[in-house]
Amino acid sequence: MLRVLRQNGAQSRNEIAARVGLSRTTVSEITSDLLGRGAIRVVDTDAVERVGSGRPAERLALDPASGQYMGVDFGHRRVNVLVADAAHDIIASGTARYEESAQWPERLDAGLALIDRLSAETGVHYGALQAIAIGVPGWGDRSSADGVAEVFATRFHAGVIVDNNVRFAGLAEALHAQSDSVRDLIYLRLSDGVGGGLVVGGQLVKGSNGYAGELGHVTAVPGGARCRCGKSGCVETVASVPAILGRCRELGVPVDTLDDLKAAVEIAHPTVDQVLREAGTAVGRVLGTAAMTLNPDEIVLGGEIIQVAPALLRQVADTVTYELSWRIDAAPVIRPALLSDDGGARGAIAALFHESPLLAGYEANVTTDGGR
Amino acid sequence: MLRVLRQNGAQSRNEIAARVGLSRTTVSEITSDLLGRGAIRVVDTDAVERVGSGRPAERLALDPASGQYMGVDFGHRRVNVLVADAAHDIIASGTARYEESAQWPERLDAGLALIDRLSAETGVHYGALQAIAIGVPGWGDRSSADGVAEVFATRFHAGVIVDNNVRFAGLAEALHAQSDSVRDLIYLRLSDGVGGGLVVGGQLVKGSNGYAGELGHVTAVPGGARCRCGKSGCVETVASVPAILGRCRELGVPVDTLDDLKAAVEIAHPTVDQVLREAGTAVGRVLGTAAMTLNPDEIVLGGEIIQVAPALLRQVADTVTYELSWRIDAAPVIRPALLSDDGGARGAIAALFHESPLLAGYEANVTTDGGR
């Protein structure tokens, strides 16, 4: 029951009963005991859900003061920080910018200064900080990020996990899906590069070496353009923002930025439309294969270009739909990302609440006692 | 601890201690209690692992008589049946053949007659049958198989789960891998059709609608040959056994059966080699994308043709290796299936031991008590 509250935030007794599979009566007995011991609190009432007598149902949560959880997302040009309490409420949030050329020491300083500033502004002193999750860009080369983890661990005397920030954003999308039934999801972000993440059974999947969902360097166009990774025709060579802008320019359309692209899309420029459709077809083929590998509930496309150029998402969706046409009931929902730029930090905190070994105390107890 | 024994079969106290994360002393206390209550038994001694005094270590298991578990695999031409006791020992096994043209009632009769015959031969009377897992061929269209589940449930008064038999074979490969660390695996079987299965974190993944790992109808050759599914250029049109034999014949090599193909491979027929390499490249590209989706520890190829034509596996491995060359540490082991024709039935039983809600009694208790 404590795990349900930790993973899902505030819940009514009916919601708890549904999640743990116990009767409403049994849940009431146990919550009464936990309330008496101060482990949980009534945080508010849910005006929509009413109990038999017509009173609004109380919502219960872990004692908010019992823990703080920090999510940090170091992007290429900014760091986002979010701090949540044990009831899942965000109690501090902020962003600090740096140049794309900034190296790790500078990025780290910007992050720590932001965290200090948030404390001064909100009065949150990180005294109950239980764990920190840090998202960083890029693939497996995380040696520099290891140093970052140490700095945070020493500074805050808390456990730290580090993972790819796009992967964290994918987890956040799965948890913010409109339906609780979204358990399996593929997330792909088209940006300066192309990255992604995979959620299976509501959990972030790393795979054998932390590359699960990294579809940017799958061959989309055999024999295509040379990629920075050393191969040819990777997804990134046709569907990253620089690749799409570059292809438009090759065909004579002068677009240097996403704003230029947006303007060209707004006048329905046929060459730009053609480039977006080519990119969407290539991405859609790769996602079609990924979708048959996992058979996910949803495929989510992130990155600013998805908002700027809706034809891209449409073409991806059409291509995936064709690929899965042999089994129409396998077709996932294909949608743009719902979360904005703070998705990475939200997902980092979600990873702490849902799956970090740092917070696995309840599960560890479960295994030890219950396994007997 | 009971769960560890149910999932892993007989274990020494040291092995149990390592799996549950308790000290050897604590494990000894608990096993002593469980032995006293008759819940577990000493099944044998492990001559390799010796305790301090030099005595061979005892291996413990659930009381074998406390349960029986049946795995049934209805293939296109035969049904395999395996029965295991609670200690994971196979106590009955057999095969019955039927014509490929046989319909469900006939296949079902063959299966039930086999089960009766096994009882007569082995003296196993299925009195402690706890659960049955039935593997069936094909995609989502399992309405006929629903009837099969009912027949078994009524006949044996046991819970029944039904899933695709290729998926069960994939789970069996993951559990029979040479290393305990194989948690994520992609299984692909090249046969009359092409099917597959996906294991993530040691568990069989179904995906949203039961299609996870069904890579047979992914487009491998855009604009390629018409497929029975209605699309063009699917993996099945280039890498199923009929497709490979047909392509060889198109190019003038008279091969009608796998035996013919084997003979042609043995004389290193260059046209056959070319056809196998083309098929291997197509399969390898698709598996490269699947591998970046999941980043598995292993990719396993099953089906008789993999044994007959080793060039096929080599070409798949080379293509996947190239696809993952940008991150060499992401490369999975790519190997032929280790289990023979009874892999489907073995995987069916494994699904019962590992993940079936039918046997989730211990986990259900864990959630109920431990969650509080």
How does pLDDT run across A323-336, given as a tens digit for each residue? 999 888 888 999 99
Do the chains contact at B293 and A326, CB–CB below 8 Å?
no
Query: Does the beta carbon of B36 lie under 8 angstroms from any beta carbon of chain A?
Result: no
Q: What is the pLDDT of residue B190?
A: 96
Tell whether the model's pLDDT for residue A64 goes beyond 80: no
Residues 6+ apart with CB under 8 A from B180: none
Whether residue A173 is contained in a domain is answered as: no
Q: Is the dihedral of CA B84, B88, B94, B97 positive or negative?
A: positive
Boundary-marking domain end, from B20, B46, B62 = B62
Measured torsion, CA atoms of residues A51, A56, A60, A61, in degrees rounded to the nearest 10: 140
How many whole angstroms separate alpha carbon A236 and alpha carbon A195? 9
How many whole angstroms separate alpha carbon A174 and alpha carbon A339? 10
How many whole angstroms separate alpha carbon B261 and alpha carbon B253? 9
Share above pLDDT 90 across residues of chain A, in percent, rounded to a whole number: 57
Contact in structure between B299 and B182 (CB atoms under 8 Å): no
Tell whether the model's pLDDT for residue A349 goes beyond 90: yes
Whether residue A368 is contained in a domain is answered as: no
Q: Average pLDDT in the B94-103 region?
A: 94
Do the chains contact at B370 and A362, CB–CB below 8 Å?
yes
Residue type, B362: Y
Structure tokens at A91: 């109690």
Number of domains in chain B: 3
Residue type, B207: G
Q: Average pLDDT in the A235-249 region?
A: 97
Q: Please tell me whether residues B58 and B71 are part of one structural domain.
A: no
How many whole angstroms separate alpha carbon B368 and alpha carbon B372? 7
Share above pLDDT 90 across residues of chain B, in percent, rounded to a whole number: 57
Do the chains contact at B371 and A20, CB–CB below 8 Å?
yes
Q: What is the pLDDT of residue B370?
A: 28
Query: Does the beta carbon of B369 lie under 8 angstroms from any beta carbon of chain A?
Result: yes
How many whole angstroms separate alpha carbon B322 and alpha carbon B324? 5
Beta bridge partners of B134: B72, B162
Report residue A169's pLDDT band, with 50, 70 and 90 as the boundaries: very high
Q: What is the pLDDT of residue A367?
A: 23
Residue B233 Ramachandran class (φ > 0 left, ψ -120 to 50 alpha, else beta): left
Q: What is the pLDDT of residue B366?
A: 24
Q: What is the mean pLDDT of chain B?
A: 87
Q: Please tell me whether residues B331 and B349 are part of one structural domain.
A: no
Q: Please tell me whether residues A184 and A310 are part of one structural domain.
A: yes
Q: Average pLDDT in the A258-267 region?
A: 97
Q: Please tell me whether residues B24 and B144 are part of one structural domain.
A: no
Q: Please tell me whether residues A331 and A347 are part of one structural domain.
A: no
Whether residue B279 is contained in a domain is answered as: yes
CA distances from B260 to B246, B253, B264, B267, B311 (A): 12, 10, 6, 11, 16
Whether residue A372 is contained in a domain is answered as: no
Report residue B344's pLDDT band, with 50, 70 and 90 as the boundaries: very high
Question: What b/e string do you get for B317-353 counting C-beta neighbours within 10 Å, with b at 16 or more?
Answer: bebbeebbebbeebbbbbbebebeebbbbbbbbbbbb
Beta bridge partners of B92: B83
Q: Please tell me whether residues A199 and A324 are part of one structural domain.
A: yes
Report residue B66's pLDDT band, with 50, 70 and 90 as the boundaries: confident
Q: What is the pLDDT of residue A95?
A: 97
Shortest CA distance from A186: residue in chain B: B293
Report residue A372's pLDDT band, with 50, 70 and 90 as the boundaries: very low
The enclosing domain of B14 has a CATH number of: 1.10.10.10
Shortest CA distance from B320: residue in chain A: A218
Whether residue B149 is contained in a domain is answered as: yes
Helix (H, G, I), strand (E, B) or coil at B358: helix
Report residue B368's pLDDT band, with 50, 70 and 90 as the boundaries: very low
Q: Average pLDDT in the B55-84 region?
A: 89
Query: Does the beta carbon of B207 lie under 8 angstroms from any beta carbon of chain A?
Result: yes
Cα–chain center distance at B132 = 15
Residues of chain A positioned with their CB less than 8 A from the CB of B366: 366-367, 370-371
Residues of chain B positioned with their CB less than 8 A from the CB of A139: 327
Structure tokens at B345: 């039935």
Q: What is the pLDDT of residue A227?
A: 94
Tell whether the model's pLDDT for residue B336 goes beyond 90: yes
pLDDT 10s digits, B105-117: 999 999 999 999 9
How many whole angstroms separate alpha carbon B151 and alpha carbon B329? 48
Q: Which domain holds residue A260?
A: 178-336
Report residue B355's pLDDT band, with 50, 70 and 90 as the boundaries: low
Helix (H, G, I), strand (E, B) or coil at B300: strand
Q: Please tell me whether residues B280 and B131 are part of one structural domain.
A: no
Q: What is the enclosing helix (H) or strand (E) of B17?
A: helix B13-20
Whether residue B217 is contained in a domain is answered as: yes
Residues of chain B positioned with their CB less than 8 A from the CB of A332: 208
Report residue A42's pLDDT band, with 50, 70 and 90 as the boundaries: confident
Q: Report the residue of A139, A298, A326, A355 to disrupt the B interface, i.e. the one with the largest count of B CBs within 10 Å.
A: A326
Query: Does the beta carbon of B82 lie under 8 angstroms from any beta carbon of chain A?
Result: no
Q: Please tell me whether residues B152 and B236 are part of one structural domain.
A: no
Q: Please tell me whether residues B39 and B90 are part of one structural domain.
A: no
Question: Which pairs with CB-CB distance under 8 Å and at least 24 residues apart come from B232-235?
Answer: B234/A326, B235/B194, B235/B282, B235/B283, B235/B286
Q: What is the mean pLDDT of chain A?
A: 87
Contact in structure between A198 and B293 (CB atoms under 8 Å): yes
Q: What is the pLDDT of residue A139?
A: 62
Least-confidence region, from A31-35, A256-260, B174-178, B223-227: B174-178
Tell whether the model's pLDDT for residue A368 goes beyond 70: no
How many whole angstroms separate alpha carbon A315 and alpha carbon A282? 9
Do the chains contact at A207 and B21, CB–CB below 8 Å?
no
Chain A closest-CA separation from residue B276 CA (Å): 19
The top-scoring range by mean pLDDT among A307-316, B38-47, B137-146 is A307-316
Residues 6+ apart with CB under 8 A from A328: none
Do the chains contact at A292 and B22, CB–CB below 8 Å?
no
How many whole angstroms separate alpha carbon B174 and alpha carbon A45? 48
Query: Does the beta carbon of B209 lie under 8 angstroms from any beta carbon of chain A?
Result: yes
Query: Does the beta carbon of A230 lie under 8 angstroms from any beta carbon of chain B?
Result: yes
Query: Does the beta carbon of B104 lie under 8 angstroms from any beta carbon of chain A?
Result: no
Whether residue B301 is contained in a domain is answered as: yes
**H-helix segments, B229-367:** 235-239, 241-250, 258-266, 270-294, 304-308, 310-323, 343-354, 361-365
Q: Average pLDDT in the B186-201 region?
A: 94
Q: What is the pLDDT of residue B359?
A: 47
Residues of chain A positioned with their CB less than 8 A from the CB of B219: 285, 288-289, 323
Q: Please tell me whether residues A293 and A317 are part of one structural domain.
A: yes
How many whole angstroms separate alpha carbon A134 and alpha carbon A113? 16
Do the chains contact at B286 and A289, CB–CB below 8 Å?
yes
The enclosing domain of B195 has a CATH number of: 3.30.420.40
How many whole angstroms separate alpha carbon A232 and alpha carbon A225? 5
**H-helix segments, B128-176:** 143-156, 165-175
Chain A closest-CA separation from residue B304 CA (Å): 23
Q: What is the pLDDT of residue B369?
A: 26
Tell whether the model's pLDDT for residue B242 goes beyond 70: yes
Chain B closest-CA separation from residue A2 CA (Å): 6
Tell whether the model's pLDDT for residue B260 goes beyond 80: yes
Residues 6+ apart with CB under 8 A from B25: none
Residues of chain B positioned with their CB less than 8 A from the CB of A212: 184, 293-295
Tell whether the model's pLDDT for residue A272 goes beyond 50: yes
Residues 6+ apart with CB under 8 A from A145: A104, A134, A136, A162
Report residue A366's pLDDT band, with 50, 70 and 90 as the boundaries: very low
Q: Please tell me whether residues A57 and A71 are part of one structural domain.
A: no
Q: Please tell me whether residues B41 and B93 are part of one structural domain.
A: no
The more confidently predicted of residues A324 and B360 is A324
Whether residue A254 is contained in a domain is answered as: yes
Residue type, A294: L
Query: Does the beta carbon of B296 lie under 8 angstroms from any beta carbon of chain A?
Result: yes
The more confidently predicted of residues B76 and A143 is B76
Which DSSP category does B234 fall into? B
Measured torsion, CA atoms of residues B268, B269, B274, B280, in degrees rounded to the nearest 10: -50
Shortest CA distance from B21: residue in chain A: A368
Residue B265 neighbours by CB distance under 10 Å: 19
Q: Report phi then psi at B357, rounded to 5.
A: -60, -20
Q: What is the pLDDT of residue A166?
A: 93
ipTM for the whole predicted complex goes beyond 0.85? no
